[in-house]
């Protein structure tokens, strides 16, 4: 539980009764949750992301429906819960039980266990949503697709899924010690953070990338835009480096590049179904174990959140709310 009342900030594990906000809310018995960068922002003093003084954190969870009034989400349905207000403005997944409205819930394809759904989590969902957006824009197998922040949650899943779909994924990372690990996840090449574009003083750089998935923002995204091939696109989902974007219009008006905004939080039911279904098609071919940084119990969350905040993780941290 995150609490900040009268300037007193605390993180703790407490017995709290799960309470629905609406009669149609669905009760989920949570098997697994995961830690996202957003969870670390919520669990910080004076957070600008958290919308209420106290709540149970966790922007995503996977488990089984144990009480429902909705005929299409009957008891026993395995679901992923993520996005919307979960873990931001209402109780989230760092708990044994979670009430969630239907619009935050996705029935899982048979191929995806609740464990694997949380190895994937919001990060993996966003990675696949980014790939589908690039494909809708015209990306096809052949050239190189750049992934920034490649050892992180979104980045490592993007590399893995791109490789599974036959793309040449180039991983950009500040963690050069993890280059071999990134190759093992399917990266065909690994480059440093400062190699996203060439360093000429020209407004536009050399055309390098057939597509890109960026969760870093700031100058990385600006450099990327000047290095996309003619007509290519970058799917942008994050801001770990910076929320500012200083660019020119030249990439857009002389190379016809596109900046595709990716949002998982308010993704429509149709998008959620499409993304989970695409994940279901490849999950059997993936080795997800290397994408798990570690598993933690609720009591270990403060340290794990700090590791995410300081970029000390590789892949996803799984949360097991039922472990004693
Ligand atoms: N739009 C959405 O719906 C959505 C959904 C999920 C996440 N996000 C956003 O996407 C971003 C990534 O989330 P995540 O869960 O993947 O986070 P994460 O696991 O912490 O990964 C972020 C990665 O970015 C790189 N990085 C960290 N600090 C950096 C810096 N100062 N400059 C450049 N690179 C840096 C690191 O990778 P390397 O060491 O390999 O460089 C790090 O592992 C966050 O901003 C998050 O809020 C958005």
Q: Which two tokens stand for residue 76?
A: 């026993």
* Mean pLDDT along residues 18-36: 97
147 pocket-lining for ligand 1 (C-beta < 6 Å): no
Domain 2-107+288-320 fold: Quinone Oxidoreductase; Chain A, domain 1 (3.90.180)
The two beta strands, 26-35 and 97-100, are antiparallel
Q: What is the pLDDT of residue 324?
A: 67
Phi, psi (deg, nearest 5) at residue 270? -65, -45
- CATH number of the 122-261 domain: 3.40.50.720
Q: Is 114 helix (H, G, I), strand (E, B) or coil?
A: helix
Model pTM score:
0.96
Q: Which two tokens stand for residue 166?
A: 């036959």
Phi, psi (deg, nearest 5) at residue 87? 70, 10
Q: What is the pLDDT of residue 322?
A: 96
Q: Whose CA is nearest to atom 4 of ligand 1?
A: 237
Q: What is the pLDDT of residue 200?
A: 80
Closest CA to 234 of 203, 271, 196, 266: 196
* Mean pLDDT along residues 269-278: 97
Mutate to test the pocket of ligand 1, among 34, 125, 146, 149 (most ligand atoms within 8 A of CB): 149
pLDDT tens, position by position, 175-220: 989 999 999 999 999 999 999 988 888 999 999 999 999 999 999 9
**Domain boundaries defined on the chain:** 2-107+288-320, 122-261
Residue 311 pLDDT > 90, yes or no? no
Closest CA to 26 of 104, 129, 134: 104
Which residues are paired to 297 by β-bridges? 320
Task: Give the C-alpha separation, 140 to 211, whole Å.
Answer: 9
Q: What is the pLDDT of residue 26?
A: 98
Task: Give the C-alpha separation, 133 to 130, whole Å.
Answer: 5
Q: What is the pLDDT of residue 188?
A: 98
Q: What is the pLDDT of residue 199?
A: 80
Residues in the chain: 324
223 pocket-lining for ligand 1 (C-beta < 6 Å): no
Residue 144 pLDDT > 80, yes or no? yes
């Amino acid at each position: 539980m995150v609490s900040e009342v009268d300037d007193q900030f605390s993180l703790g594990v407490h017995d709290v009764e799960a309470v629905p906000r609406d009669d149609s809310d669905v009760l989920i018995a949570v098997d697994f949750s995961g830690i996202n960068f957003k969870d670390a922002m919520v669990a910080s003093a004076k957070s600008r992301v958290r919308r209420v003084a106290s709540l149970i954190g966790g922007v995503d969870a996977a488990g089984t429906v144990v009480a429902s009034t909705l005929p299409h989400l009957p008891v026993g349905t395995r679901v992923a819960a993520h996005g919307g207000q979960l873990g931001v403005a209402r109780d989230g997944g760092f708990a044994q039980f979670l009430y969630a409205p239907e619009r935050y819930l996705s029935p899982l394809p048979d191929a995806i266990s609740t464990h694997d759904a949380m190895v994937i989590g919001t990060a993996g969902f966003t990675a696949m949503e980014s790939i589908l957006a690039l494909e809708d824009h015209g990306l096809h197998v052949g050239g190189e697709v750049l992934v920034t922040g490649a050892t992180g949650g979104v980045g490592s899943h993007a590399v893995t899924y791109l490789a599974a779909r036959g793309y040449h994924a180039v991983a950009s990372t500040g963690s050069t010690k993890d280059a071999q690990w990134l190759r093992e996840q399917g990266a065909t090449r690994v480059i440093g953070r400062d190699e996203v574009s060439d360093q000429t003083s020209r407004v536009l750089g050399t055309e390098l990338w057939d597509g890109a998935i960026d969760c870093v923002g700031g100058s990385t995204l600006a450099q990327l835009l000047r290095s996309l091939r003619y007509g290519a696109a970058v799917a942008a989902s994050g801001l770990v480096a910076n929320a500012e974007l200083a660019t020119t219009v030249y990439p857009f008006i002389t190379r016809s590049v596109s900046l595709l905004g990716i949002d998982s939080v308010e993704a429509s039911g149709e998008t959620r179904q499409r993304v989970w279904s695409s994940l279901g098609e490849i999950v059997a071919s993936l080795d997800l174990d290397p994408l798990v940084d570690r598993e933690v119990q609720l009591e270990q969350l403060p340290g794990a959140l700090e590791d995410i905040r300081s970029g000390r993780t590789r892949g996803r941290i799984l949360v097991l709310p039922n472990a004693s």
